[in-house]
Amino acid sequence: MADIHFDYSIALEAIKYGIDGIRLNPGNIKKEKQIIQVVEEAQKKKVMIRFGINAGSLNKNIMEKYKEPNYLALVEETERLLEFLKKIDYQNIVISIKSSNVLDTIKANNIIAQKCDYPLHIGITEAGFDQSGIIKTTAGISILLYEGIGDTIRVSLTGDPVKEVLVGHDILKALGIRRSGLNLITCPTCGRCQVDIYEIAKKVESSLSDIRTPITVAIMGCIVNGPGEAKFADAGIAFSKKEAMLYRKGELIGRYNTKGAIAMLQKEIRGMSVE
């Protein structure tokens, strides 16, 4: 996928060299003739084109009209694009409409999803980093996906791009769209808890991070919700004051001390993985 700005001729070159997809920014590649030339070349080689509309690089005349890059400005730039797309005879098109503002992104995508059938690529652009970046991204993408909007996703976080992929994966897991690897159910450490659930859970997770089989694992610190969660997980431990109860698919299979329970849980999970 080649992300092209300003100069359409780079898109032509990228297509010539066999790229799989082209992203064009209609905010800075504006001349219809140039876009048509890219579309024609893409069509010959069956290359997908994504038109990526971004709040940070909207057309000048749209910005003059709206004064700020709000969802109405995003919608109007997308509507102009849809008008243009009617004139061309190519369907291998994806549209993305992104803002760093979560609500503007959601509103603009909602409106455009009603107006066209092109696949939508969704994400919060320039979301930031670490906790607040992950939260903005998750809020935006998960609300849209829950509404049934969004065909591909992009997580845009400042920092190591590998992290972006892991965050996207966890969003899809949270919404039940993808199931892969451990799904950990662990309790907040409240007054009822006698063991260090955080350390135990981290240890279990990191020792089994290679597993791709979807396995729900509960690690619970007390007898209020512990046995209930542990029973309905594929494998689970519920700690009580005296001991740890180990469950396999709803069945109590043993009572152990803390250390023994962790080792047995790891063994259980490993046994359930099909790798």
Choice between 55 and 208, CB closer to a second copy = 55
According to DSSP, the residues that pair with 54 across neighbouring strands are 98
Distances (CA, A) of 207 to 164, 188, 212: 22, 21, 13
Residue 152 makes contact with a second copy by CB under 8 A:
no
Contact between residue 215 and residue 170 where contact means Cβ atoms under 8 Å apart: no
Choices 77-85, 216-224, 240-248, 258-266 (CB under 8 A): range interacting with a second copy: 216-224
Q: Tell which positions 173-212 bind a second copy, by CB under 8 A.
A: 173-176, 184-190, 197-198, 201-202
- The residue within the footprint of a second copy, chosen from 8, 14, 24, 25 (CB under 8 A), is 25
Go through 246-272 and write b for each residue having 16 or more CB atoms within 10 A of its CB, e for each that does not. Answer: bbbeeeeeeebeeeebbebbbebbeeb
Please state, in angstroms and rounded to a whole number, the distance separating the CA atoms of residues 227 and 232. 9
22: its two tokens: 């082209």
Q: Is 196 helix (H, G, I), strand (E, B) or coil?
A: coil
Q: How far is Cα 196 from Cα 226, in angstroms, rounded to an integer?
A: 14
Considering only 41, 76, 164, 234, the residue that binds a second copy (CB under 8 A) is 164
Smallest distance from the beta carbon of 243 to a second copy, in angstroms?
19
Using CB under 8 A as the binding criterion, the count of chain residues that bind a second copy stands at 68
Which residue, chain included where needed, has tokens 């909602």?
A: 110
In the complex, minimum distance from the CB of residue 87 to a second copy, in angstroms, rounded to a whole number: 26
Query: Tokens standing for 62?
Result: 């749209």
**What's the min distance (Å) between Cβ of 127 and a second copy?**
8
Please check whether residue 21 is in contact with residue 45, taking contact to mean a CB–CB distance below 8 angstroms.
no
Under the binding rule (CB under 8 A), the answer on residue 109 touching a second copy is no
Residues at the contact surface with a second copy, assessed by CB under 8 A: 3, 5-6, 25, 28, 54-58, 68-69, 100-103, 106, 125-136, 138-140, 142-143, 146, 156-159, 161, 164, 166-167, 170-171, 173-176, 184-190, 197-198, 201-202, 218, 220, 224-226, 228-229, 232
